[in-house]
Amino acid sequence: MTGRRLTIADFLTDGILARICDSAATLAGADVTLHDLDGRRIVHTDDERRWRICDAAPEDHMVHEAIQRGLEQPVVTGPGGETIFVLRVYDLPSGAIVVRGGDPAKRALCDEFAGLIAEKVSQFCDRDARLQDRHSELAVLFRLSSLLVGARGMGSILSTALTSVIDVLGMDAGIVHLLDVRTAEYDIPAVAGLDPDFVEALNHSSRFQKWLHRDIRAKGGVEVTTVEEGDAADLTRAGIVSAVSAALRFKGRHLGTLHLFTRNAREFESGEMAMLRIIGEQVALAVTGAEMAQIERQHRQVQRQVQLAAAVQRRMLPNHMPTVSGLDIAARYESCFELGGDLYDFLELGSSVGFVVGDVVGKGVPAALLMASVRATLRAHAADMYHLDDIMTLVNMALTRDTRDNEFATVFYGVLDPASLMLTYCNAGHEPPIILRRRTDTGAWTIESLLVSGLPLGIEAGAAYDRQLCRLRRGDILIAMTDGVMDALNFDDERFGRERVHESLLTFLAGNPDADARAIIDHVIWDMRRFRGLRAETDDATVVAIRVG
């Protein structure tokens, strides 16, 4: 990493630099030598390595001193003496090229040549060192990425990230200070190199908490702290001397902070700070990924429960239509979610057949639960009571008692005697059913609505419901549906509406006067879908049809 002291020997491969010094010495008739960081001479050899380091000669003591001082300007010891050109990498001394003696007429030229060599060698070595740093940083990031990808679960990811960063950066300890999305509070879920009991005690220190929660965004997301004094002073009890903190941020969202500690004084160079910033972003990405994976697992669990509930709800709907002499009965239910709030049911009541069509306010799980409650309560009372208005009153009282103000249901409950064709019904705020009847004189179809209605169930405990009678005729078609059919919207935000429903039925029956109940329902649903186009469903849709034979 940037800031470490390197020697020129770290960059030698084939001894060419030592040979250049030898060639310069021959041309100038002077002594030109190459020295490492400790002032030792580096000489060219004929063996496989092509160079070696010799012990420093007595006359090289000035060279070692100049290198250690790191002087940027050439050191001239006197006329005809030494000229020392210090080589630099990371702006730190790494060795030297020294010129001694020689022909005075050529000495100035030799010094100039040696100075140019020293300048270019320093540039090349500095560039090579920085390239190696970038390579090392990429290797560190790749290693960290590989470890994070292999980790499973938030705890494993944080522990892996912390220990990996401590290892690759040569730190001694660290903690992760993270926002828990479930509790919206900060915690320390990962610790390395510190006694957990010590960290637990720190967590109860108001001074240390202040240090943990400080905002480091203004400092580029990375901050170095000397812990001897200030809010982080409690760390000194664990031998911590310095700390560096990196913000964990993902797409502008602050997730927490990665804190790394050393037990020896250490200066963090710009390259290390940049590296920590990248590592913080990478860890934040891994943490976000773990959060998303956790949310996905929870979503799958909820989805599984919803699927099970949907299966139960489907079993509540009749799995076959009642077989009643003289009546053709059909029904169709389409939910816009896996769980819906529409209801239809059939009840065997001696020689008569009861049928229910309902719509619970809302959608999804709450509506499905309320629908199940309405169905169960109505069935329970219908089994023991005769009068429909009394049944609806009791269902309303139970629903009002057990639900909130914004939870209610519209229900149409009818009982049809197939012998007399007398329809007894009670309507609790539901879309009025219609009777399609064919005129005997012209053969045209007409529509009559059963308009009498009371309040929806669950709004007012003392609501009264009227029982109504209507005698059907042979050939009549009774249609009851939920408002999801009428409320279907196209891309122009137009409702399918009651008029289009009536028009669809009349047009279809004009061309298919003998169509059975199933065909009639299918046509209405098809027309609704064709009107809606590819726009998503916004409500459940239920249609029940009874055709009198």
Domains of the chain: residue spans and CATH: 8-131 (3.30.450), 151-294 (3.30.450.40), 317-548 (3.60.40.10)
**DSSP 3-state assignment of 243?**
strand
**Residue 314 amino acid letter:** R
pLDDT in tens, 351-364: 999 999 999 887 77
Query: Contacts from 511-516 at CB under 8 Å and sequence distance 24+?
Result: 513/438, 513/443, 513/445, 516/328, 516/330, 516/547
**DSSP 3-state assignment of 333?**
strand
Q: Are 32 and 98 in contact (CB under 8 A)?
A: yes
pLDDT at 49: 83
Tokens (6 digits) for 202: 């720190």
pLDDT at 80: 57
Q: Are 372 and 403 in contact (CB under 8 A)?
A: no
Instruction: Give DSSP secondary structure letters for 223-240.
Output: EEEETTSSTTGGGGGGT-
Q: Are 248 and 272 in contact (CB under 8 A)?
A: no
Phi, psi (deg, nearest 5) at residue 14: -125, 10
541-548/253-262 β-pairing: unpaired
Give me the count of residues in the chain.
Answer: 549
CA 169 to CA 164: how far, in whole Å? Answer: 9
Instruction: Give DSSP secondary structure letters for 6-71.
Output: --GGGG-SSSHHHHHHHHHHHHHTSEEEEE-TTS-EEEE-SSSS-EEEPPPPGGGHHHHHHHHHT-
pLDDT at 250: 84
Residues of the chain with pLDDT below 70 are 1-4, 78-80, 147-148, 150-151, 217-220, 229, 338
**Residue 247 amino acid letter:** A
Task: Walk across the sheet containing 468-471 and list its strands.
Answer: 342-349, 352-360, 409-417, 422-428, 468-471
Q: Are 418 and 328 in contact (CB under 8 A)?
A: no
**DSSP 3-state assignment of 411?**
strand
pLDDT in tens, 144-169: 777 667 667 788 888 888 888 888 78
